[in-house]
Chain A
Amino acid sequence: MRKISEKDIELISAYIDGELSENEIELVKKKISELSELRDKFEELKRIKKLTSDSFGTLPEAQYFETRVMQSIHSGNSTKHKLKKWTPAIGFTILAIGLMLVLKFNPGVLDRLLETQKTKIAGFYQQNLRPLLYTANLTNEDIFNFAFYKQLPLDKSSNQFIQLGTDSSGQEFFEIKKSSDVPSTNNLDRFISALKLNQTQKEQVDSIIGAYAGYLQSQILVNNKNTVAINRDLWNYNKALVADLYAYASKAKGKELGRIIPASYRVVDPSTIERVVREVKASNNDDYIFFTADTIFSEKYALDKVKLKKEMDELKKNFDSLKKGKENYNYNFNFSSDSNINKNKYSFKFDSTWKKKFSVIVDSNICRVHIPRIIVSPPNMPNFDSIFSNMHLEKVTEMMKDFTFEMPKNFPQKGGEFKMQYKVGDSLNTFKFKMDAINVDSLVKSSLKVLDSLHIYVPKNFNINLDSLTNNKFHFNFNDSVMNWNNKKYKKHMKEYQKELKKLREELKKEEKDQLPDTAKS
């Protein structure tokens, strides 16, 4: 029996549609009569055709069809309609041409627009700017600490500071940060007592510091909009203040100063100091870097010094009212955000006198601005940071001058005692040191305990404070998401590691057992 082809079915389909020639109709009819499969197919296709033609119903009549079409035609023909159709294109073209013309004949217009916008923002943050010393009521101790610890408190209650420093490449920067590294107190008193200054000399030191307090007033400005504006000369004033204090100390108490400063440091040329102080004081720079909660920008700002002086004088006259009316600004900068957890660098441009770019680094709790250059070359001065941080050792050195101790010839190996003698003034003191037998095992154990409990201490170069992140790293007390991620990862690794160790121990035990003679096993 012949199998029906696709061509046959196509012919039958066309036959049902009445689309065949007479010859073809004859041929199809013959095939259908001969083959029962084709007959079945013919019936099937006829049924499908009927199903298709019966499946769709009537369409509701269109109301006012002609009227609506004619209306559309006539409204489409009107000039208004045509114009309306082309309005967006015409609008964009005119706008583009206009913009091109404006930019051609006035190329600086966009810059000016941006500048205006910038000025507006700057204007907002420049409102009610007042000197930090006026609002935070800094003491002479704070300014002394600024000189030698390069740190000024912004908000003592929340430990926010302005910190000056130099990075590893020697570039100066200043940063606003939260810090737990607060300088020890009474540094000024210790300085005065170390130099054995009398009352008059003490007052002179106070007056130097007081004078700089006046200069610093215009260097750091703050307002109630959470803005801190720092003059780029702040670093220079720090250097001048240190130089001034050093110059006075060496002049008034050269001998005492010589004792607290090692001989190798005494290379200061007084004329250099004078030049630095003179140049810094003569500088009248009005370039400020504004730190705000939203942005950091540089802008010129002219502080009305006359008005400021007047205000300060009035406040000095009425100190009680100052205490009552003291404005309590809260400078709580939170620099962390999802996008800038790590170092983000922004670039700013100063005016023509300071064209070099400076970079700003925002970290989780600091905001650091690197300064491209310092105008006044620093005098060749000793490293005060290391000297003053060890200043209290001066007394100890004095006392230890006559310190001796004796070690007995036959020092007992299992416990015993030896004597130490030291002089304080004219009296001779003796100290007996008892020693028990050394138990090596307990010593090792206790040492390990101590090591476990010990937080690793990272010695800080005074000028480069690595901020709290360094400590956090060792305590695993992370605040930001990146570190949290690391912490989780660390925990996961540790768990895996512990599992591996356990497995290893079990294997070792098993091996040990296998190696033992059979008798021992039993």
Chain B
Amino acid sequence: MRLRNKKVVLQYANSSQNRDDDFSLIKRFIDGDESTFSVLMQKHKEKVRNIIYLTIGNANTVDDLSQDVFITVYKNLVHFRFECQFTTWLYRIAVNKCKDHLRKMKVRNIFIPLKESGSEPVYSGGEIKEEKEIVRKAISKLPDKLRIPLLLKDIEGFSYQEIAEFVQCEIGTVKSRIFRARESLRKLLKPYEQELLT
């Protein structure tokens, strides 16, 4: 499934019916029906995995972090207050986990030689195109605070409002960061203008 087409899923999730579905599953879970948690997981796991993949940029750790996210959700679901959508809460947890992971990696990278830290597999639907690789490399050079909102917007199709909730900042900040990310990306891609045009 292509990530960009997930927008359809998001629209579905945003619908009030979908929200009511999540709420009723959570209520059942709180009442003791543990099987509903598997349903919730099945429904949202791909989105969570994609968010983590985009945020971390490393496919190797996606599943471990995704599992960690759902374990946290499982432990805290009884405290869910039904004040916001379940997905907002879930993705916020996912983004926070990613931030923690990135922080740890930064500390670790201080002690790891450069050669070891750079080898991360990227999945590109079988065929690796040079153009995509150039763009991915340029995106990976962006700072986390610019890269995460940009990818959540352009790939996952979240709204500024949603991104602001996930990364816990103002909408204006998200707007500004996405704009700055694009400007930085433009500068980074300038030397490859010829390749990208062809």
A residues whose Cβ falls under 8 Å from a Cβ of B = 9-10, 13-14, 17, 19, 44-45, 48-49, 51-62, 65-66, 68-70, 72-73, 76
Evaluate contact between A62 and B71: CB separation under 8 angstroms.
no
Evaluate contact between B178 and A17: CB separation under 8 angstroms.
yes
Q: Which chain B residues lie closer than 8 Å to A58 at the CB level? A: 1-3, 123, 125
Q: Which residue, of B41, B123, B154, has the highest number of chain A Cβ atoms within 10 A?
A: B154
Evaluate contact between A59 and B49: CB separation under 8 angstroms.
yes
- Give the interface size bracket for B toward A: 35 or more
Given contacts A49-B182, A52-B182, A58-B123, 12 further A-B contacts (CB under 8 A): A9-B183, A14-B160, A14-B179, A19-B160, A51-B196, A52-B151, A56-B151, A58-B125, A62-B49, A62-B66, A69-B41, A70-B37
Q: Chain A residue with minimal CB distance to B7?
A: A53
Evaluate contact between B3 and A56: CB separation under 8 angstroms.
yes
Evaluate contact between A14 and B175: CB separation under 8 angstroms.
yes
Q: Which chain B residues lie closer than 8 Å to A53 at the CB level? A: 4, 154-155
Q: Which chain A residues lie closer than 8 Å to B63 at the CB level? A: 62, 65
Evaluate contact between A55 and B132: CB separation under 8 angstroms.
yes
- Which are the 10 A-B pairs with shortest beta-carbon distances? A57-B124, A57-B125, A55-B135, A13-B179, A52-B154, A10-B179, A53-B154, A69-B70, A55-B132, A51-B135
Which chain B residues numbered 136 to 162 have a C-beta less than 8 Å away from chain A?
A: 136, 139, 150-151, 153-155, 159-160
Evaluate contact between B71 and A76: CB separation under 8 angstroms.
yes
* Interface mask (B40-84 → A, CB under 8 Å = 1, otherwise 0): 011001100110011000010011001100110010000000000
28 contacts between A and B (CB under 8 A): A9-B183, A10-B175, A10-B176, A19-B159, A51-B185, A51-B196, A52-B135, A52-B154, A53-B4, A53-B154, A54-B132, A56-B54, A57-B3, A57-B122, A57-B123, A57-B126, A58-B3, A58-B123, A59-B50, A59-B53, A60-B59, A62-B63, A62-B66, A65-B66, A65-B67, A69-B71, A70-B37, A76-B71
Partner of B189 from the list A48, A66, A69 (CB cut-off 8 Å) is A48
B77 to chain A minimum Cβ distance, whole angstroms, is 11
Say yes or no: A9-B1 contact (C-beta < 8 A), given A62-B66, A69-B41: no
B58 to chain A minimum Cβ distance, whole angstroms, is 11
The CA-CA distance from A55 to B63 in the complex, in Å, is: 21
Q: Chain A residue with minimal CB distance to B178?
A: A13
A24 to chain B minimum Cβ distance, whole angstroms, is 11
* Interface mask (B3-43 → A, CB under 8 Å = 1, otherwise 0): 11000000000000000000000000000000001100110
A368 to chain B minimum Cβ distance, whole angstroms, is 48
Say yes or no: A48-B125 contact (C-beta < 8 A), given A55-B132, A59-B59: no
B138 to chain A minimum Cβ distance, whole angstroms, is 9
Interface residue? B186 (CB, 8 A): yes
B109 to chain A minimum Cβ distance, whole angstroms, is 22
Evaluate contact between A66 and B38: CB separation under 8 angstroms.
yes
The CA-CA distance from A118 to B22 in the complex, in Å, is: 72
The CA-CA distance from A68 to B67 in the complex, in Å, is: 8
Evaluate contact between B123 and A70: CB separation under 8 angstroms.
no
The CA-CA distance from A52 to B155 in the complex, in Å, is: 7
The CA-CA distance from A62 to B41 in the complex, in Å, is: 12
Q: Chain A residue with minimal CB distance to B35?
A: A70
B68 to chain A minimum Cβ distance, whole angstroms, is 9
Q: Which chain B residues lie closer than 8 Å to A44 at the CB level? A: 186
A30 to chain B minimum Cβ distance, whole angstroms, is 20
Q: Which chain B residues lie closer than 8 Å to A66 at the CB level? A: 38, 41-42, 45
B179 to chain A minimum Cβ distance, whole angstroms, is 4
B170 to chain A minimum Cβ distance, whole angstroms, is 13
Evaluate contact between A59 and B70: CB separation under 8 angstroms.
no
Q: Chain B residue with minimal CB distance to A20?
A: B175
The CA-CA distance from A73 to B70 in the complex, in Å, is: 9
